Structure 1
């Protein structure tokens, strides 16, 4: 187990017994690209995560080592200066430390070793787990708590500093997840509640297309956000009370057909209808209607493919193959887009047969070896015993 290796390494190199923090990855059942439009999302935290072994030191510095991609060690002085580093993850930690310094948070010297089993670039929000887990670890060493709501905002600000203008869904899912439940978040007012996942006889499975994405480098994410903002500005000319796409209706959208960019119109339509799919998913999960859940997954995927244009040929291929397999009730791309995983609802008693057939057909059609991960819904960020 990766967390045991991290603890053992920490004890061998720092001669202390650390506190171990787990920050989970997250899936999203439905509700993609709705969060930054003040819409509805339905994520859940999972058992895969990033683990942080941490302990205080007397060196007036924060020393960090990782097994996340390749071994590397970086060090930050508490005056926010740091030695040069090459790791992508170092930029997240640098941003977090700078934000905490700007807020006069009482940082203390800390040693940290981290690693995990979230596949990087697969759409499981490894960056949110990285940021939220690191901030939470800092609070455990410093002894000064920060509310989970504020941790989410700091983590979001850190992502913004390195170039990804993300919403708050990932951070909230990582921080507030609850075992066995989906997490309904209203991104307009950040109210939330839990939706039990009661689909007996069915399993959630992630299939990694092994097409990697990096949204902070790829500006396509931000282009879609701009499209949504353009539509809001257009509607505000006749309805100035509108603040976000959440309050825009299809009637409002139709009124802009002759005056707005057609691509912006198409993308806004996707977001409005995706909010409705979240509402529908809550109902059918509550009813335990697995067939209806699968149908919503499929509709959500093809809307992302055709209207929001954020899938890839490989992801579309995975979904098409699943549509032809009897044991797969529904699939869709999950995450920001342009790579990553599909989330699949699969009949449990045929799971091995269905997934093996899916992987083989994908290999035959694309030449790519996909991977799969059975899912278990778990708790949010916590001290891991």
Structure 2
């Protein structure tokens, strides 16, 4: 069965809204490579959107899942729990930044984690309002769409959204939003829209994912932490895309030296098996009544077993250090391209192996080149390279290779990207 045959079958039975970037149907995957239904090989610089940080089908993760399959696949954690969930929670509360005692809970997706973080913040504070940021992405459920600061394709046609959500500009010096302006906007929200005593939480991505891989300044995160503490507001750090060694630290907020009240985790947590977590200060996490948190598949024993193996691989293979090395290698290639094409590449940025190129016209950062971005991604897929796009202006190519990717694969993929860019510009 070919890619084109499978695409026709998919179009006939799967909702149009669940589109696919390219008509590539994967038959096999290993580490940083994919093979499709036509037998074509691809270098994967998407990693399932930062999910398989440990690479496709890491042998240790696969072995843990196979062993779990022979024991138990599902009982529902809120009915009759199991050792794997307890052990994983013990690991997560130990590695979460900060010295305050912590607790964890499990669900299945990143959006569910964010939903539950909001529920916990509201239960603990007795407040209702939530503050989020322009360009943020937190999920596709109704609440998380409301929090998300990007309309197309995530919010268009799906309203109305929950009330009591207020938005701030995300500090972004490249696009003229200073840290001071973002903090001033927060103070203005407190004066014009909602008093601090009614705000349950502020949610922020330390590095924006879908928004364009912009990094919040360390000093801004520290100021936000201080303001939240002053007003009794919960600081929710969304580490769904930036967590689990992706940025060169286990979590991106470690660069700022701050402790979140609540953290959301998913994607890289379990090597491709559906699992997400909320980890926060124990007193806060215990605010919800028994039965108020959970779900039928929350904390699947298979997902927990996979996640335990992922934690071991990150430590044993020193993937935080690998993320830094991969980032430096890729950015070296990209900076060479920026010097060669200054009119088309507005900025190269990265934190560890969370890497982005912003494409522009005429060297003007205020003239995004969404068309070139789209063409690059499409042509790369045809030529055997998986690239993802992002950004509220749709002009950012993001690079998310597996942290286990061999350096020669990184170089091969970057050479392919360079060749395609040269042909298109």
TM-score (ref. length: structure 2) = 0.27
